[in-house]
Every structure is written in C-alpha cells, then in structure tokens.
Amino acid sequence: MSSSDGGHGAHPGPHLAHHFETIEKQDYAVRLGMWLFLGTEVLLFAGLFLGYTVYRHFYYEAFHEASRHLDLWAGTTNTIVLITSSLSVALAYHAIKQNKTKTCAGLLIFTILCALAFLCIKGIEYHHKFEEGALPGVFYHFSEVTAPGANLYYTVYFLSTGLHAFHVIIGMSILIWILARVLKGEFSSNNYVPVELGGLYWHLVDLVWIFLFPLLYLI
C-alpha cells in the first residue's frame, strides 16, 4: 500500500503492489510485460504478412493491377493521420511526465480523434470496394482487374486491414480509458507509466500500418 511519494506535493505516486520491492522494479516489470505483449502482436500479424508475401509472389500481375485500383489518397491520408497520432501520443506522454495534465489530456483527445478519422476513411474505402465488387474470395466480381489471383489480393487486403482496424479500435479504447484517468487527475509527473504503456500499444498500431501501406497500395 506504500506510495513512492513521501507525502510531498499534491500528487501521490503509483500504487506499489505487495509483491514488488520497489517502484522501479514494478515499472520495469510492467514495461517488460507490455513489450512482450507487443511481441505477440507482431507475430499475430506475421501470419498475414506471410500470406501476402506468398500470394504476391505467385500472382504478381494481379497484385500489381489491383494495387493500382486502391484509393491511394485514402491510404496516404490514413498514413499521415496515424503518424501524426503517434506524434501526439508521444507528446502526451512527454507532457504528463512534466505534470502538464491538461496538455496531456488534449493531446490524447487529438490522438483519439485521429483514430476515428482513420476508421472513417477506412470505412469509405471499404464502401468503394463493395460498390466496385472488389471483394475477397467467392464474392469477387470486380471487372477491372481480371488477372488470376486478384480475389486473393482482396482477401489479403481485407484480412490485413480488417485485423489492423480491429487493433485501431482496441488501441482507441485503451487511450479513452487512459484519458478518463488523466481527467480524473490520477496521473502526474510521479505516476505516468500507464500513459506510456497505452502509447506503446498505439505506436504498434502505427507500425503495422507503416508496413501495410506500401505493401498494399504501392506495389
């Protein structure tokens, strides 16, 4: 039940769990835990990247053609949106380390709005695909790309961007939860590790997209 702050100032330190000796050890442990979890997420997406690599190799024509038909402006905008949201969440972490709670909250709100923007743009793209008939597998009836294996391109496209969008939603939820705690005044320069961890997850979401974007849109 001890706090790292010996009663100094208005901000208590983080809660030290009974089985950790010091706050430093606890912080090290939660960061290591988060990095391990990020490692598992990398391997989760690895399978889809594998599918992409395999089928792009065998159906290069189709992949090349189909990639031309994606909405490049949407993809580029989304990339910019995500990179900017990575910046804002890194700045939010920086702010809370300096006790700037309001700045932190504002930056988190901006990040969450970026996430929403990403999802909206993705939604518009998906809508286009439904209209064109550029759908995965058996539903494929896109007349403009007819090379063999085109349906597999869209399979990989929808699976990868779908799983990624799912992770955007998870990341957004985590950030909303962190934002709520920031607004309640729970975090300060004495206690900010959860903000860091939420940010780390969000950066992973950005990382996956940094690879998905060129592989899907620019080949």
Partner 1 sequence: MSQSSQLSTDNADKPVIPVVNYLNADRGVWSWLTTIDHKRIGVMYLVSVMFAFLLGGIFAMALRIELLTPGPTIMGANTYNRMFTLHGVVMIFLFMIPAIPGVFGNFMLPLMLGAKDVAFPKLNLLSLYLYWTGATLALSGMIMGGTDTGWTFYAPYSTTTPMTLFPVLLGIFILGFSSILTGLNFIVTIHTLRAPGMGWMRLQLFVWAIYATSIIQVLATPVIGLTVMLVGIEKVGHFGLFDPSRGGDPVLFQHMFWFYSHPAVYIMVLPAMGVVSDAISAFARKNIFGYKMIAYSSLGIAFVGFFAWGHHMFVSGQSSTDNGAFAVISMFVGVFTAIKVFNWVATLYRGSIAIKAPLIYICGFLFFVVFGGMTGIAVATVSLDVHWHDTYFVIAHFHFIMVGAVIMAFLIALHYWFPKMFGRMYHEGWAMVAAALIVLGFNATFIPQFLLGNAGMPRRYYIYPERFQALNVASTAGASLLAFGFVIILIYLIYALVRGAPAGDNPWDSRGYEWMTTSPPPKHNFDETPVITRDSHSYQEPGEEVEHVVI
Partner 2 sequence: MAHEPAHTEAGKAEHHGHGAGRYWLVWAILLACTGLTVYTGHYHPNIAVALIIATFKASLVVLFFMHMTEAPGANRLVFSVSLVFTLVMMAGVFGDLLTRNPMSLPGAAPPSEFQPR
Q: Is 67 in the site for partner 1 (CB under 8 A)?
A: no
Quick one: what does residue 123 bind among partner 1, partner 2, none, with the CB cut-off 5 to 8 Å set by partner type?
Answer: none
Distance CA(36)–CA(163), nearest Å, equals 20
Contact pick of 16, 20, 49, 169 for partner 2 (by CB under 8 A): 49
- For partner 2, the closer of residues 17 and 54 by Cβ is 54
- For partner 1, the closer of residues 133 and 185 by Cβ is 133
Q: Residue 86 CB, nearest distance to partner 1 (Å)?
A: 23
Quick one: what does residue 19 bind among partner 1, partner 2, none, with the CB cut-off 5 to 8 Å set by partner type?
Answer: partner 1
Stretch of 55-63, 113-121, 126-134, 176-184 contacting partner 2, by CB under 8 A: 55-63
Q: Which residues pair with 188 in a beta bridge?
A: 191
> Contact positions toward partner 1, by CB under 8 A?
17-21, 25-26, 28-29, 32-33, 36-37, 39-41, 43-48, 50-51, 54-55, 58-59, 136-139, 148-149, 151-152, 155-156, 158-159
